[in-house]
Amino acid sequence: MKSERVAAIVGVAESDLGETPGKTVLQLQAQAAKAALEDAGLTKDDVDAVFTAGNWAWSPPMMLAEYLGIRPRFTDGTNIGGSSFEAHVGHAVAGLRAGLFDVALVTYGSTQRSDRSRRRPPASPQLTAQFELPYGLPTPVGAYALAAMRHMHQYGTTSEQLAEIAVATRKWAMLNEKAMMREPITIEDVLRSRWIAEPLHLLDCCLVTDGGGAVVIASARKAPLAAKRPVWVLGHGETHTHNTIVNMPDLTVTGARESGRRAFEMAGVTHDELDVVEIYDSFTITVLLTLEALGFCKPGEGGAFVSGQRTAPGGDFPMNTNGGGLSYCHPGMYGIFLLIEAVRQLRGECGPRQVPGARLALVHGTGGVLSSTATVILGRD
């Protein structure tokens, strides 16, 4: 850990999760924001920067800040999908380094699951989407299926290997009382669940839930005033390589190769120093591709890497310790929950699922259709 101390995460919280009928995205974010500020021992009036991502308003940051009664001096509404919040952390570090604000509030909220009863109008095939939408690829799962099929062709990766990830993640969820899916599953269960888009089965896919989260990031000056031990942002990196899946340069290599490399370099840490990793698991294949692109194993070796329940509780590679998007919650853009779990692990607050003595964590978000990636490395003193 050689990097300088510029910014620390000092507060984290979820809102109600799962199914929240009648709640709005603003209510969920207000609930999470209040709890995260209480966790930090700070107040709303300490917040001078607002970060959020969503498509529920013309300007989500303006609507949210108004609702919460905050007049920020810095705003970032960057939306690059599920990795937005890891990107927000990086942007917050830049703003803090420049001395533009002291306390950033990052929020997310979604009522995706409850909204399902209302029919969404189909997306309009305009601009570059007109070359894809007419073919009926279900989004996002179809795009991830295309990547999985290519990886299987190129490297011999199997459905059993992908299922290892779903099974191990479910074991973590069984240790998390907030997780939606807590019944044990087997590799056979995954393989026998119905096809969604070959080669992905139902149990290769994340949940569809409601939920919100909030993260409070403070300057090095303000962090010591917080109620709990600061969790320092040691490194970060981000990129996006394409928008639609056809334009992904190589279906087996994600932008994690770039965002991860930059995060590791900035943090001055190596892979084997990490105690816990939280990797966006929209689908099992997302995790496998990310592990390879981050350099935990070589290209094509992801299947072998996750075999033998290596990422499960008790395995030598603790990953997605809250039960992940696959089994805990997944309200559309899941990235903020990766940060929340990593911070709790580094504080030692995770009870039965605590990774003993965790000091260094890697958080990696993926957004769109493997389009954007953002990596954050966190550590405690």
Partner 1 sequence: MPNPWPKPEVDGDSRPFWEGLHQGELRIQRCEDCGRHIFYPRSICPHCFSDRVRWVLATGRGRIYSYTVVHRAQGPFAEEAPYVVAIVELEEGVRMMSRIVGPREEVAIEKPVRVVFTRVDDELILPFFEVLKEG
Catalytic residues: 280, 328
- Contact 266/346 with Cβ under 8 angstroms? no
Query: Which 24-53 residues touch partner 1, going by CB under 8 A?
Result: none
Burial of 3 (0-12, 13-18, 19+ CB in 10 A): middle
Choosing from 60, 199, 213, 325, the residue that interacts with partner 1 (CB under 8 A) is 199
Q: Tell me the residue ranges of DSSP E strands in 65-210.
A: 74-76, 103-110, 195-197, 200-201
C-alpha span between 1 and 339 (Å, rounded): 19
C-alpha span between 137 and 246 (Å, rounded): 11
Choosing from 25, 50, 104, 197, the residue that interacts with partner 1 (CB under 8 A) is 197
- Contact 298/361 with Cβ under 8 angstroms? no
Query: Which 213-272 residues touch partner 1, going by CB under 8 A?
Result: 244-247, 251
C-alpha span between 22 and 3 (Å, rounded): 45
Choosing from 195, 224, 268, 351, the residue that interacts with partner 1 (CB under 8 A) is 195
- Number of residues forming the site for partner 1 (CB under 8 A): 36
Give me the helix-helix angle, 284-294 and 159-173, nearest 10°. 100
369 binds partner 1 (CB under 8 A): no
Give the nearest distance from C-beta 180 to partner 1 in angstroms: 20
124 binds partner 1 (CB under 8 A): yes
With residues binned 3-state (H G I as helix, E B as strand, rest as coil), the percentages for the chain, rounded to 5, are 40, 20, 40
What dihedral do alpha carbons 296, 324, 284, 289 form, nearest 10°? Answer: -30
Is the Cβ of residue 29 or residue 284 nearer to partner 1 in the bound state? Answer: 284
Choosing from 4, 45, 177, 198, the residue that interacts with partner 1 (CB under 8 A) is 198
Is the Cβ of residue 235 or residue 332 nearer to partner 1 in the bound state? Answer: 332
C-alpha span between 240 and 259 (Å, rounded): 9
Per-residue mark of binding to partner 1, 80-119 (x: CB under 8 A)? ----------------------------------------
Give the nearest distance from C-beta 48 to partner 1 in angstroms: 39
Choosing from 58, 71, 135, 356, the residue that interacts with partner 1 (CB under 8 A) is 135
145 binds partner 1 (CB under 8 A): yes
SS3 13: strand
1 binds partner 1 (CB under 8 A): no
59 binds partner 1 (CB under 8 A): no
127 binds partner 1 (CB under 8 A): yes
Give the distance between the most distant pair of CA atoms in the chain.
55
138 binds partner 1 (CB under 8 A): yes
User: Beta strands 103-110 and 49-52: pairing type?
Assistant: parallel
Is the Cβ of residue 55 or residue 130 nearer to partner 1 in the bound state? Answer: 130
SS3 106: strand
How far the first Cα of the chain sits from its last, in Å, is: 9
Is the Cβ of residue 153 or residue 271 nearer to partner 1 in the bound state? Answer: 153
122 binds partner 1 (CB under 8 A): yes
Is the Cβ of residue 217 or residue 251 nearer to partner 1 in the bound state? Answer: 251
Q: Kindly list the residues in this chain that would bind partner 1 in the complex (CB under 8 A).
A: 122-128, 130-138, 141-142, 145-147, 149-150, 153, 194-200, 244-247, 251
